[in-house]
Structure 1
């Protein structure tokens, strides 16, 4: 098998537990270092990993026994950590979004290319059987030429369950930058890159009340739009309508629908790796289930990092920095359009990565 891929993890909050489960189960991965602003938390995680040492962030990004930095910090810190790792010649894989601003994300991609290192970016949920099976249907022409898609995420807000939800309501957060990457990445996977966007946004209230944990009852200021709607014009000519909100309660609508000349496709929640895909053919009698035909069965967060680690030299990872950059420009373009009232043309594009063959996680 050769030498294992040596990973250092920065940020050991809520999402790190799932990444640790995925990575510690991978035979070709070794977690050699962990870092967190809470040193006690880092010490506890390192204590459960025989191969890992708790280090400061500066020590971790410079460590000789770290090949890849997994960046699980809050969005405001994504660029700082990624650029520091790149400066030390490390590959980087980060949680979404790639950075809190499009300019910072551009700098990450530019610096990585100049340094000859790789950048990957969540979400990797689109590599599971849900979105990949739906994409296989689209690619096979089973709905004809795609003409439109709808996507929506409706929730009353993360303060209802997250004990420290502050960053969701600060610049770099909000429903679009937080949850939008799942939906926008799925739309790009299904329909290809986007050339321009139109957006509108609003906010229901100026503060939120934490509902759980040690800070229950504490009020958090809202400094971003908590309801954002956008129209995405794909290079193919298809139009997608996206709604993300922290101001709703629930919805009965499917997370994503894709409509073509000869059929419509129901796509499962892109925040999950699996889910049911359904097809309604033109002239058919109703929705019929689609058997799994693509994607990694049983996948969990971290599979995108494994795809990056195992990619052959010169082969771009499927959850790539270029994809993260394009998705971020789509979202920041929607926010810019919402503020200005004008259509925003995009400067980036990206190639759809190859379809993921149907296979179990192992």
Structure 2
């Protein structure tokens, strides 16, 4: 009975902590991002700590600042590389000639329209699917929608800037104070569980580093495959190809639906702004489908089994059920954080609830 009471109390405490984390989710997200960045800055910090000028060592505060500056410079350089490419994409979209677009798509859709009229006579003999498409595109680019878009972007940029400053501040102290994050977690547990918590944090650190590293490799691999396909096979301009490929790579981190969102969005942009000279829309659509489908097959059978199964140490079916539950509870955001969160829960369950058969089954690969 005493043992059961301990488990009940432990579960109750875990639920309270989970509720607090959910209630202060914005702060928790800042802390988690800072913890991930501090892991990236840790090797830089260790190298700086080893530097010695005779008897002089760099102060930890200065080493932490240099490490943070290097990290910030890396992301800033990445942004400076990507921003002009997306800028040119937005210029192409704003300069789209809708009348010319309608002429380009009318001929390939003529047969499709005639079949729709034969199958569904109530739509009328003057039915044209391209008219519907053009009308929807016009609605997207009205003055009010553009104004709302820029207002939303301005608000997002302000929030992002504030978030970046908060993350930089927290990350600095996580890098400077060697075990600061671990000590924050240890403070939530009684002293007698310190060894268990330290083992759990060590396992979590190793698994999450492998997971995020694998995720980065996945994004770069998908970006590379789609860039090659869009540039060499579809014949797009290189700048447009790399922007859309990077976009599909980033959206791919959303399990299952992300790749299709990216492919549809990229195809829509290509068909409206980036048609190669003399290209036939029908054959181009087939080419785009082939490029994105090939990349998706490679991702499903090569990248994802390696990243999700090996990094998270979980069965593919287990991951699939987990993502379905996460999607039903918290939508896309839930799907994004499901695997890292599940990894953390499994590691702590292994340390504190290893007597349960279910826990043993779920954590036997960790």
TM-score by length of 1: 0.24
Higher-RCO chain (CA-CA 8 Å, sequence separation at least 6): 1
